[in-house]
Amino acid sequence: MAFNSSKFDPNFTDNVINAIGPKTSDRAKFVLSSLIRHVHDFAREVELTTDEWMAGVLFMNAVGQISDSKRNEGQRISDVLGLESLVDEIAHKIALETDDIPTSSSILGPFWSPNAPFRNNGESIIHELPKDGRVTLMHGTVNDLITKKPIGNAVFDIWQASSNGKYDFQDPENQSDNNLRGKFRTDENGRYHFYCLHPTAYSLPTDGPAFKLLNLLDRHPMRPAHIHLMVSHDSYKPVTTQIFPKDDPYLETDTVFAVKDDLVVDFKPLQGDPKASLELEYNVKLAPRDIAPASAHL
């Protein structure tokens, strides 16, 4: 619905933008000018009250106050509003001259660690097996999107929460460092395999601003069960993504809007393996780094 801008000072926003100094970079000036204009238009459109503005200030203060090295509440707010998923879509949207598409990206989330160890194919990322944990043999291939050939020596980085919904550094009472984390290299045939847990749905924390925002929006705090993946190779565009069991009840209402159809997977019963009761085959397609989007030829 259009708002009546005529009753407000028509020069105010331009004055604020024009106050940006000459040493500001072109990109920063472009981004911040647009941000200022959108924020000002928003305030005029809803006729933001002083009390509402101050409530927003206090909310932002609370986001910073509860954040620390183990908790990024600002990122959670972005997730709840769908902003991280939107930025991910913008960053990874490529139109190739092929009917095929690379494996979809999804948000990184706040729990990736650069310190996950390299493990050998066939090893397990499970240090502590929870009582209700279901071990899964996960395997597949990493292939070139264009040639369909396997990609050897690709790095397959995986991390996941335990069945209590917590990642290792959130849960020192039950998990050791790098529990449920690991990096694997594909073999000459592009194949990988390892043991992990069938993931479990969990709630975002309910003691901070993100949960207050969810309550205000009348939304639940649940994330569907998921496994995080980051697959990379020097010659290919990396993909950071998440995969989700097809029977999870929160696929349609993921609180951070990260689910995409091609990221929903099927865990199947596994017979004859004493180490696992489930099996998941998941294949990844990477686009070459030097491939030009179709739009480049227009």
pLDDT digits (tens, 9 = 90+) for 23-49: 999 999 999 999 999 999 999 999 999
Lowest mean pLDDT among 101-115, 125-139, 175-189, 226-240: 101-115
**Which residues 6+ apart lie within 8 Å of 38 measured at CB?**
none
Write down the mean pLDDT value for the chain.
93
Q: In terms of DSSP bridges, do strands 135-144 and 278-281 run parallel, antiparallel, or are they unpaired?
A: parallel
Instruction: Kindly tell me if the per-residue pLDDT of 120 is higher than 80.
Output: yes
Q: What percent of the chain has pLDDT over 90?
A: 88
- Average pLDDT of the residues in 11-23: 96
CB count within 10 Å of CB 9 equals 10
Instruction: Give residue 297's pLDDT band: very low, low, confident or very high (50, 70, 90).
Output: very low
How far apart (Å, rounded) are the C-alpha atoms in residues 171 and 200?
Answer: 15
Q: How large is the average pLDDT for residues 124-134? A: 95
**Residue whose tokens read 């390299």:** 118
CA distance 192 to 164: 27
β-strand pairing of 181-185 with 135-144 = unpaired
Band of residue 99 on the pLDDT scale cut at 50, 70, 90: low
Residues in the chain: 298
Tens of pLDDT, residue by residue over 181-211, are 999 999 999 999 999 999 999 999 999 999 9
Which residue spans of the chain are classified as CATH 2.60.130.10? 77-286
According to the model, what pLDDT value does residue 241 have? Answer: 97
- Name the pTM for this structure: 0.86
Contact yes or no for 239/262 (Cβ under 8 A): no
77-286: CATH topology = Protocatechuate 3,4-Dioxygenase, subunit A (2.60.130)
Q: Which tokens hold the place of 211? A: 């949960």
With CA atoms as reference, report the closest residue to 262 among 244, 249, 276.
244
**For residues 292 and 264, which has the higher predicted lDDT (pLDDT)?**
264
The model's pLDDT over 139-164, given as tens digits with 9 standing for 90+, comes to 999 999 999 999 999 999 999 999 99
**Buried-state track 233-242, b at ≥16 Cβ within 10 A, e below 16:** beebbbbbbb
